[in-house]
Amino acid sequence: MKKRGISRRKFLIGSAVGGASLAASSYLNFDAWAANEKASENVKVTPTLCDGCGNWCAIKVYTRGDRVWKAEGIPIAGNNLGRVCAKGHALLHEVYNKDRVKSPLKRVGPNKFEPISWEQAYKEIGAKLQSIKETNGPESLFLLQYPEGNADLCQRFMNALGSPNVFSHASTCFLPRNIGWWVTTGSAKPEHDLAHSRFVVFLGRNIGAGLRLRQLCDLSKAKDRGAHFVTIDPRFSEVAAFSHDWVRIKPGTDLALMLALANVLIQENLYQKDYVNQYTEGFTEWAEQTKQYTTEWAEQKTGVPKEIIRKLAHNLAEAAPRAFIHRGYHGALGTQYKNSFQLVRAVACVNGLLGNFNQRGGMYDPPKVKLGKLDPQKFPKTPELEGPMVDGSGDPDRYPITPMGLGITHAIPELAIVGKLKAGFVYHNNPLRTCPNPARVIEGYKKLDLLVSFDYVLSETASLSHYILPESYYLERDDVVHTNHCYDSHQVAIRQAVIKPLYDTKPMVVILTELAKHVGIGNYFNFTLEEYNRAALAPLGVTLERLKKEGVIDLGGKWEPGPPHFKTPSGKLEFVSSTLKDLNLPAMPEWEEPLVEPDQKNPHSFRLIHGKQAHHTHARTINQEYLKEITLLNDMTRVWIHPDRAKQLGIKDGDCMTISNEVGKGRARAMLTEGIHRDCVFLPSGYGVYSRNLKTAFGFGLSYNDFLPTYFDPMLGHCMSNEIVVRIEKTPA
């Protein structure tokens, strides 16, 4: 196995990212404030939930007088164990950002807005929406959201309107990962008993930047107990720096490595036989299928020597069942490649061979807390919509396993261009920046007769919208109760207002309720948020008052290892997926080439890959000035390139490079590092903001979406965001 050739110190200096340890205190000078704390009698502490990323960490926010001061983590919260990351600290200050939208706005010209009253906004939007619905049918309406928090209320709103078209960002983020795990194990997002593991493989998964604070805590515990970590990634990521070994794999070939691991585990009788016999389905076919995927074959595909692949299989087998391949996210197992879905299936199957599901130090289906519902006698239920969605999600003949309610986000502009979508709402999302091929996305969204954004700043999407209805910032509002804190426990948590709204903004539940009245569906929104939350808590025996006081409540009972139960049709882990077989889709993981390849004979040709930095959640945090300071201080918008390839092109560290392909062209400075595979360059995500209304972030860095063609994976529809080939050249002086 290749030992990493870069010292951790050097790497950290190069990237200046240390995961959860990267506190923002040196930037925010909390120490100076802390000295005054005792002198102040106006300090109030309110528990709530951070909104900096999908983790929803539970925090206590301190205010002094009416001003937000600082945050601390809530120690019992299962997903952050009392930790807060740099983003969590810095985003407190966004409530005072000068770029905030201060009242409802109506667009009256290109990038020209006029403040209007809420009543005028509701009336005009309601009338326009009803007219579009009558003329084009409810299926011409859509809502795109980040699928957290108030997602159920948004779904209710669209159900009441009669439209099945509720989208999330899944097709540009996690779609294959969730569906692959779900068809194999019945759990879309299995968790890891990382703290008790002995051997862990991070396959393109970088929990040091795509932060999971709980997992970072558990990683430390496991390391203290002597666990061994291997990172397989074309790039020397933050988690690679923490790992014992880094395997520099050719991008897009992780699937070949997984298939070869299965081959070794089976052919050398290293798999957990009793477990496989008892708890899996289709082993004989899977064993036959993987015979062809030898280590020699995989070496050709991946560039990883066959001895290393074999050693990896042996190491995993020796530590099993306290060993796993991490369930993954970006890097390889998200929406990155044409073969990402096959890859996720293969990862789940290799974990099956290790017999680690529901075992100590292995993986498990996290316990779910079942919340109560509004009483349908008093609060009418909306019609259930069967679908399929307008993009083909849920359609047996198009994307049968792409779930309704997630959809294919980057199909929206295409559907608007051909007139199938006429009006839309965008909530907690910015598709004009987060979807591929910006020119095409803008063209599509411009075709809509009505576009309404619920946002607190004028993002690219909000700037193009006909109306902007500003939701109160997360520190200014109450939301629905939340159960994302579980990991191995049962917990419930709540987001609540820490301060009064600074401007004329409203919580989402109020906006939806008022809009509903103006489009004739008010009868489905005849409840208050308090009633909704009390109904949700009723089966748990927890009062809203207690939850608001404590922020997070542990309901007792923990995940415990034991015989696994898989929520698949067979009740077993399915090497041969019955769901896929029934749909005539490949039922077993098989090798599939990536969609594109750089031209090996052309020194200018590279694959462009991308990933998060620990102090940003893609474009969501990019307009925050303290976080920008971290980027500036550490020169972090540079594009990583291998020194050997750079030398061929006459590029030195810090030189300006031109990056181009058929979709876009841009300039970035080079960071020469051996921590990147020779075939690719790495662009950090989130930069490249082009809304002039985001003054901190505007015109700063590049986005990979500027180079990504509009692709739809044939099976799931995801965007295949690492299937980019670019030309790199030194920018002439």
Binding residues for ligand SF4, rule: CB under 6 A, are 50, 52-53, 55-57, 80, 84-85, 87-88, 211, 213
Q: Which is nearer to ligand SF4, 92 or 125 (CB)?
A: 92
Q: Which is nearer to ligand SF4, 17 or 657 (CB)?
A: 17
Q: Which is nearer to ligand SF4, 50 or 715 (CB)?
A: 50
* Contact present, 60 and 71 (Cβ < 8 Å): yes
Other C-beta atoms within 10 Å of 221: how many? 13
Give dist(CA 234, CA 241) in Å, integer: 13
Q: Least CB distance from residue 246 to ligand SF4, whole Å?
A: 24
Q: Which is nearer to ligand SF4, 87 or 490 (CB)?
A: 87
Q: Least CB distance from residue 386 to ligand SF4, whole Å?
A: 35
Q: What is the CA radius of gyration of the chain?
A: 25
* Contact present, 55 and 34 (Cβ < 8 Å): no
Of 691, 505, 501, residue with least CA distance to 105 = 505
Q: Which is nearer to ligand SF4, 408 or 493 (CB)?
A: 493
Contacts of 212 (CB under 8 A, 6+ apart): 55, 79
H-run or E-run covering 138: none
Q: Least CB distance from residue 205 to ligand SF4, whole Å?
A: 15
Q: Which residues of 711-731 are buried (b: 16+ CB within 10 A; e: fewer)?
A: bbbebbbbbbbbbbbbbbebe
Give dist(CA 348, CA 340) in Å, integer: 12
Other C-beta atoms within 10 Å of 41: how many? 7
Q: Least CB distance from residue 535 to ligand SF4, whole Å?
A: 26
Dihedral in degrees, nearest 10, Cα atoms 107, 113, 118, 119: -60
Q: Which is nearer to ligand SF4, 52 or 234 (CB)?
A: 52
Q: Which is nearer to ligand SF4, 55 or 637 (CB)?
A: 55
Strand partners, 145: 427
The string of DSSP letters for 633-674 reads HTTTTPEEE-HHHHHHTT--TT-EEEEE-SS-EEEEEEEE-S
Q: Least CB distance from residue 69 to ligand SF4, whole Å?
A: 16
Q: Least CB distance from residue 620 to ligand SF4, whole Å?
A: 9
Q: Which is nearer to ligand SF4, 24 or 702 (CB)?
A: 24
Q: Least CB distance from residue 228 to ligand SF4, whole Å?
A: 26
Q: Least CB distance from residue 354 to ligand SF4, whole Å?
A: 29
* Contact present, 50 and 88 (Cβ < 8 Å): yes
Position of tokens 């060993």?
Answer: 323
* Contact present, 167 and 412 (Cβ < 8 Å): yes
Q: Least CB distance from residue 96 to ligand SF4, whole Å?
A: 18
Of 539, 471, 523, residue with least CA distance to 150 = 471
Q: Which is nearer to ligand SF4, 61 or 211 (CB)?
A: 211
Give dist(CA 576, CA 580) in Å, integer: 8
Q: Which two tokens stand for residue 491?
A: 């917990």
Q: Least CB distance from residue 55 to ligand SF4, whole Å?
A: 4
Q: Least CB distance from residue 56 to ligand SF4, whole Å?
A: 6
Contacts of 100 (CB under 8 A, 6+ apart): 456, 457, 470, 473, 502, 503
* Contact present, 722 and 609 (Cβ < 8 Å): yes
* Contact present, 726 and 707 (Cβ < 8 Å): yes
Give dist(CA 716, CA 180) in Å, integer: 10
Q: Which is nearer to ligand SF4, 53 or 468 (CB)?
A: 53
Q: Least CB distance from residue 320 to ligand SF4, whole Å?
A: 30
Of 606, 723, 602, 600, residue with least CA distance to 659 = 606
Q: Which is nearer to ligand SF4, 220 or 661 (CB)?
A: 220
Q: Which is nearer to ligand SF4, 84 or 385 (CB)?
A: 84
